[in-house]
Structure 1
Amino acid sequence: MSKTKMGLNMVFVILLMATTLDNGVVGRRQSPVTSIWTKYGDLYDCIDFDKQPAFDHPLLKNQASEFRAFLTMSSHSKGESGKKRDGWIREIWKNGKGCPNGTVPIKRERLYQSPLSPDQPGFHQAGIETMLDPVKKYTGVAATISIWNPLVNASQSSSVHIKVQNGDEFIQTGWRVDPNLNSDFKTRVFIYTHVGATQCFNLKCPGFVHAARDIPVDMHLDPFSIIGHLIYVARFGISQDPSTKNWWLELGDDPIIHVGFWPAKIFKSLQNKATYVRWAGQVYSPVGVPSPPMGSGVALPLRLNYHREAQMRKIIFRNDTYELVDASDTQEIADSRDHYDVHDVGLNYEGNVEWGHSIFFGGPGGITKD
């Protein structure tokens, strides 16, 4: 896994053990072809592509063969430089290669509680969002995000996400520390799906079609940044395919890895592009319990320091014609600036042309009232 200091060209660094499967996660399709371990102690079952949880969705039943072609798209990911992803795949898996062809990795885990709605008490956020404009549409979102491991207790979470939304439907990806979700305190990739009455993380409900045999949607991110030392970053993206209207989860920059996708047919409003996108940190804590740190956990000073504060850079969206552009017409959002703040520093902060549109965000937390 590559190291990088902020200000240099970003090199992609992103990429519970239990004895029984949670039937609520893998459902009736849970027979693994084999099981493999990561170097971080996670056990994954390699599930046949056709038998993954996605195809329990009522709108996707008996349609696995239609989507099998996307296995090839995921397995052939290369960057503009022609680099393959083999090097950092070997960093993830003990076997150095992931699951066999035709299968996808699904983490073996214990039961977890249903996710809380962000509208409930105890959630706080800081970041930027697009302004409401009935004319504008978006077909993707991405950002390079610094990776941290904020301290939380067993009832809390701390995360960073990018989001696309149309009406009540939205999908997210990013990283989070969430012991309720993951049964550990590690920093992990996550996806979140909110469609109709369905809302869940990762593969906890059917709908997201996992296509990569070697990249889990909940992979552990290691190493993470430490204040005053090396800053580790990862590139996250969600992009709509102009022909199928499927929304793809993309990880990395060079190469871009197509991990899987949300099929267009599970959506109503999001089939027709997004009307709103967001880049933000978010924390949760039960009311009365001091809220956890966000990002690096330090308050934003007047003089920003990219070796101390959490940041997102190369913040972009895809416009209505699927063109990648620097995010514009955005506004800051922060519901408690004394505890979690955001500074939008615009384009090319301090002359760093490769940074593009950037923000600094985060804070120490400590809120006890909603």
Structure 2
Amino acid sequence: MGKPNICRLFLVLILSYLSDRANGRVNFKEIDAKLKQLNKPAVKTIQSEDGDIIDCVDIYKQPAFDNPTLKNHVIQVKPSFDIKEEKSSTENESSKLVISQTWQRSGSCPEGTIPIRRIRREDLLRVDSIDRFGRKPREIVSKSSTTNHSYSHFPLINNTNIIPPPLVNQSVAMLFTLGSNFIGAKGDINVWNPRLSSRSQEFTTAQIFVKSGPGDVFESLESGWTVFPNLYGDRRTRFFTHWTVNSYSSTGCFDLNCDGFVHTNPQIALGAAVEPVSTQRGEQYYIPLGIYMDPTSINWWLKYGDDTPTGYWPGTLFSFLNHSSTLVEWGGRLYSPNVKKPHHHTKAGMGSRHFASASYGKACFIRNIAIVDFSMALKYPDWVGTWADEFNCYSLYNDQQTSPVFYFGGPGRNPDCL
């Protein structure tokens, strides 16, 4: 780039900055105050090779303890239960466990601290509202449905079909089960890095979703992997958590971007990039993931990998989930302002970007699916349903011929999804 072009670009940036300041859109005092709230003092700092900064923070100075209800909370070091996670004998030998995070190659956190991904000024400058930084978009229910019901399976309760409401800002492909005494759910989530369009508002997930409560104020716990450029600043596949107690309206957040989740594992960072990822017809990598309620403490524990739990959501945060979950979902979600818009649909991908029919080695999957009830035993749900509200864009297939495997995903816009 020549010198005149560089000067011109610099001038454009300066004018843009001055325009933003004049219109009140950039308030660095407010941004810096938010950064001070989010980033706790570090005992040690690790510069990851992928650009992340990981702060090792005293376990009792993490964001959870900003919550007034947790003022006198004593950290539960480990859950009181021990659930044995048996692997299927039909497991494909080419699948490999993924618990590696990129930052781990650059250092480790000392005992008594937990790793927290540092939030930087540029992260807050990307969002429309600093107050909603790190939260999911509010769910907007559509007045009409574009769901292809021939590819969905819904339960009948009191002779009424229970159909999830179509949402304006997201498309889903999920396996789900209903009940009243779920206190845990697990699955091995196949890891990919799907391409998104250039729209910063878009993100995609592959996850486990535990919910309870009425639709307008439901409580939920979520975890899995995501590609979310607007939140994380890049297009890497990252391990995430999320929670809410009022349907994303004003509570909860991703990872440790608010006061809720109590992190206990010094080796795992929420929001950090995971590696390696699966390749088409190549090695298939997966994350064993479980969300379990401790029946003694009522805390909901997150288990990432086969060994040490990552941390927990305190039971005191919840009104409905302080007893059990009534709904569990496994699968993919794609968030975009351009889903369900004829002739303007997003090209953002879900899963591997291949349809579920591509099967093992090409399509994203979740296997070793199980729930836990008060018997504290892992088992496949007695009943499961499926839901895909844009089957020509993002499809699903629940293979129960041998060991159950749930496939899902798709490319978004294509000749059958415009």
Identical-residue share of aligned pairs (%): 32
The answer to whether structure 1 residue 156 and structure 2 residue 202 are counterparts is yes
Could you tell me the TM-score, scaled by structure 2's length? 0.71
Q: Of 356, 373, 386, which aligns to 1:300?
A: 356
State how 1:1-370 maps to structure 2 within 5 Å: 23-24=33-34, 27=37, 30-63=40-73, 66-67=74-75, 69-70=76-77, 92-96=103-107, 98-109=108-119, 110-111=123-124, 113=127, 114=132, 115-119=136-140, 121-131=168-178, 133=179, 136-152=180-196, 153=198, 154-167=200-213, 168-196=218-246, 197-253=250-306, 256-287=307-338, 288=344, 290-301=346-357, 304-346=358-400, 348=402, 356-366=403-413
- Cα shift readout 1:330-365 (whole Å, capped 9, x = no counterpart): 1011001111111111252xxxxxxx3211111111
Give the superposition deviation at 1:155.
2.6
Residue type of the alignment partner of 1:310: C
Give SS of 1:193's match: strand
Give aligned pairs, total: 324
Greater Cα radius of gyration, structure 1 or 2:
2
- Cα shift readout 1:73-102 (whole Å, capped 9, x = no counterpart): 79xxx9999xxxxx9669742444x21111
Give SS of 2:68's match: coil
- Cα shift readout 1:244-274 (whole Å, capped 9, x = no counterpart): 1100111113xx2300100011111100111
Residue type of the alignment partner of 1:42: D
For the residues of structure 2 that align with 1:99 and 1:242, how far apart are their CA atoms?
30
Contact kept in structure 2, 1:26 and 1:53, CA below 8 Å: no
CA separation of 1:258 and 1:299: change in aligned 2, threshold 3 A: same
For the residues of structure 2 that align with 1:206 and 1:27, how far apart are their CA atoms?
10
Give the superposition deviation at 1:38.
3.1
For the residues of structure 2 that align with 1:325 and 1:54, how far apart are their CA atoms?
32
Contact kept in structure 2, 1:242 and 1:322, CA below 8 Å: no
Match of 1:15 in 2: none
For the residues of structure 1 that align with 2:361 and 2:206, how far apart are their CA atoms?
18
Q: Please report the RMSD computed on the Cα atoms of aligned residues, expressed in angstroms.
A: 2.9
For the residues of structure 1 that align with 2:256 and 2:391, how far apart are their CA atoms?
34
Give the superposition deviation at 1:221.
1.2
For the residues of structure 2 that align with 1:25 and 1:248, how far apart are their CA atoms?
27
- Cα shift readout 1:188-237 (whole Å, capped 9, x = no counterpart): 01001111330311111111001111211112111111112111111111
CA separation of 1:236 and 1:118: change in aligned 2, threshold 3 A: farther
Could you tell me the TM-score, scaled by structure 1's length? 0.80
CA separation of 1:105 and 1:25: change in aligned 2, threshold 3 A: farther
Contact kept in structure 2, 1:38 and 1:94, CA below 8 Å: yes
Contact kept in structure 2, 1:316 and 1:357, CA below 8 Å: no
Residue type of the alignment partner of 2:331: A
Contact kept in structure 1, 2:397 and 2:406, CA below 8 Å: yes
Give the superposition deviation at 1:286.
1.7
Give the superposition deviation at 1:280.
1.5
Task: Give unmatched runs, 5+ long, in structure 1.
Answer: 1-20, 82-86, 349-355
After TM superposition, the structure 1 stretch with the greater mean CA deviation from structure 2, 158-167 or 320-329, is: 320-329
Contact kept in structure 2, 1:283 and 1:291, CA below 8 Å: no
Contact kept in structure 2, 1:284 and 1:292, CA below 8 Å: no
For the residues of structure 2 that align with 1:89 and 1:226, how far apart are their CA atoms?
17
Task: Give unmatched runs, 5+ long, in structure 2.
Answer: 1-30, 88-97, 141-166, 339-343
